[in-house]
A and B are shown apart, each in its own frame.
Chain A
């Protein structure tokens, strides 16, 4: 019987021939990702009684959730992390302002196809965009991996999603994954690995794949994997020196579920409050006035995302009384956006440019809503209170172009086709 990508990745990293679904294996990660939670993890690491991390070259830490720190507590949190990094000689440390963990990990060449990435962050599924199994874990588990270099996994069943056809001009990868989640629901991939296939999947850039794999977390997937191909090679060429295997599933692999989506049929959508799977075409919404637009986060803060928003906002102003928060996903994204004029366009339109990071998405720092306010956001979650205030607030999720179009009108509208 054929093997899924997940099974073949496990085989690649453990040497186990044909690991069976449902079986338990111990896995050493290619890299383990943590962020502002690293101080708490270092406390657990010490509670374990460990002295040295198992391999300082395989530990990645980025400070991104509350940057630059807004208060003494969060500043101290960062200080504890820096001290731990120095004490342990951790190789891949990215300080405040360099970017969001899920942007930096691939951008800086720390992800290759065919490996397992563990991350103490639910959106670690992102790294499936490069043909790796990006698997989210919690803080205590991250501490244990720092100490002993491995953890257990149950080999999951897999879901095959085929994407065919071509997107309309004002429809984006974000609309695709929101439409999939709307169809499959918030627990539609619980304990499962999701694979993306089809000519539509192959046509997506790494940035678009990152958006889709990122949000597999929102249907509770264990991983969301695009098989590595020539698009992956092109992205990795300037970033990675080490050899890697472009693992493909066997043609006779068995899937617990198979779903087909036709990209031609996907339209601009939003997730309505307060669940990500509460998805509706924008054309079917009543008039929804908004107070804030958030452009950025690990889902949609890359150059192509900011560029799409800038195309909509070029020569226009956001509506009086509405705010537009612009959070580039990394310093490299910010610099590229500056050199292409995209940042200039967004700021001239009325955008508030912030330090690369992800604070407002989860109400960790910056961009907090006031009671009664509504946001349109390019982030990944719209849970009640997510952006720092729960009193009669509402968060709608959409593509960066939808955010841009909506802040001009002061209400949620689909992006215009003619600018793309």
Chain B
């Protein structure tokens, strides 16, 4: 799986689930498309309108900290974001992303390079190759450890719903 897209660069540490998907919508029954309309609403109100299919978020330390709300993953996925490349991710956020098959790439070297060279790189497209474990920007290439074990199984099956379906049918 390989993605190439425009970058949204968020340097903040601890960009949290409430900024990604506000609590006031969490107990309304919403479709994934409706969730996407609120993506990053309390952080960058225009994001949902301006994001384009295939865009990639470049994020700081502990992205997705806070709540277990899965909508904070789904809203980005259904807004068209193809992947988040971050310094690090909060635990439940990371797990939720695997479960809905949304690629999170922990690659602090690439993110630090992008943060430090934002002005010259802002119009560059970022390439993320999940199968080879590489992030490429301009003439620079960085490696990251690909998923393994059960996480990889769940991700490649298309998420936990498909994975559990398969488990049930194998019984």
Chain A residues with a Cβ under 8 A of chain B: 24, 36-37, 39-40, 43-44, 47-50, 65-66, 73-74, 76-77, 80, 120-122, 124, 136-141, 143-144, 147-148, 152, 154, 186-187, 190-191, 220, 222, 275, 277, 362-364, 381, 383-386, 388, 390
Contacts and interface: CB of A to CB of B under 8 A. Distances in A.
A214 to B, nearest CB: 13
Contact of A138 (B27, B28, B42, B70): B70
Interface of B: 13-14, 16, 18-19, 22-24, 26-29, 42, 61-62, 65-70, 73, 88, 90-92, 95-96, 99-100, 149-150, 159-161, 163-165, 167-168
A138 B91 contact: no
Given A363-B23, A385-B22, A187 B14 contact: yes
Contact of A383 (B19, B70, B149): B19
B19 A385 contact: yes
A136 B96 contact: no
B24 A364 contact: yes
B68 A190 contact: no
Given A48-B161, A140-B160, A187-B62, 5 more contacts: A24-B150, A140-B70, A364-B26, A383-B66, A388-B24
Contacts of B61: 187
Contact of A186 (B19, B62, B73): B62
Contact of A49 (B42, B69, B90, B165): B165
Contacts of A143: 160-161, 164
Most buried by A among B29, B159, B164: B164
A270 B16 CA distance: 19
B49 to A, nearest CB: 17
Contacts of A43: 29
A125 to B, nearest CB: 10
Given A49-B165, A384-B42, A138 B68 contact: yes
Contacts of A388: 23-24
A355 to B, nearest CB: 15
A140 B14 contact: no
A49 B27 contact: no
A48 B168 contact: yes
B66 A191 contact: no
